[in-house]
Amino acid sequence: YDPSQITVDVGYDGPHPAGGVAPMTDAELDQEEDLFRPGQLPRDFVMAAVQRFKDQKLIHKRYVARLLISAKRHFEVMSSLVELSLPPSGPDADTKPRVTVCGDTHGQFYDVLNIFETNGYPSADNPYLFNGDFVDRGSFSVEVILTYLLFRMADPTSITLLRGNHETKNMNKIYGFEGEVKAKYDDKIFDLFLELFQHLPLAATIEQKVFVTHGGLPVTPGVTLDDIRNIRRGCEPPESGLMSDLLWSDPQPFPGKAPSKRGVGYSFGPDITEKFLEENNLSLLVRSHEVKDEGYLVEHG
């Protein structure tokens, strides 16, 4: 699939990665592919795209295809476990270094904007980790995932993305993302999204002490961070195994494990959490995957 074959007409009034307006010059076209490499995408283009989404308009399909292809190449060479550190300084003189971890955003673009307007936009000194389920359910899933990817490709240190159980083909067919992408773009762009989703990392550590994943913990005894780091991606999740547990599992208040009420994955007890953290020299598990009335809930503490 060659994005350079997609013509940007004169009628397109949205932002261009190289600046300027359509039709683009030969020099701008030559530069375009390089601009979508990690760390090269101009922040001005990213912020202009976010404003365009806010105005309920889209960026051109050519740029979406460039973004998805480049992001897929970026993620596919990463391990399944991302190791993060706190930035050297906070976003301002009064704020300590931090990583902001956000749970499911499910196509709620204006909620995402509210997070950024309240907590600051993603940057090297204000990094975010979005813990899966960016799409489905909400009506602006395309805008949500494109916003995250634009920030990621502008500055990979500003935002980390982990796969959720909704970054999958079957869930996208049932819960709306497939239909939304095909209505806003086309079938090929949806296929590019699916390829990208298959290569997203599955878990992260922060300062080697906090373990973050979308669903929950593996219920197989003795699983190490190396086991998670080496999970093979580039596929839809199998019905069982490490990837399935990380994407689908939920905590339960009593010890041991039980088949999940979701039909995939398991429910895991506080004993499993305690053992996994102890064996991997970790102190905290952060996971998403469930609605909590107060926004978050401390369990297994």
Q: Which residues are catalytic?
A: 166
Measured CA to CA, the distance from residue 64 to residue 156 in angstroms comes to 18
- Which of 220, 201, 222 is closest to 212 using CA atoms? 201
Tokens of 157: 């240190």
Measured CA to CA, the distance from residue 116 to residue 278 in angstroms comes to 34
Helix runs in the chain, H state only: 26-35, 43-54, 61-76, 109-119, 141-154, 169-175, 177-184, 187-198, 225-229, 242-248, 270-279
User: 203-215 in b/e burial notation, b at 16+ Cβ within 10 A?
Assistant: bbbbeeebbbbbb
- Maximum Cα–Cα distance across the chain: 64
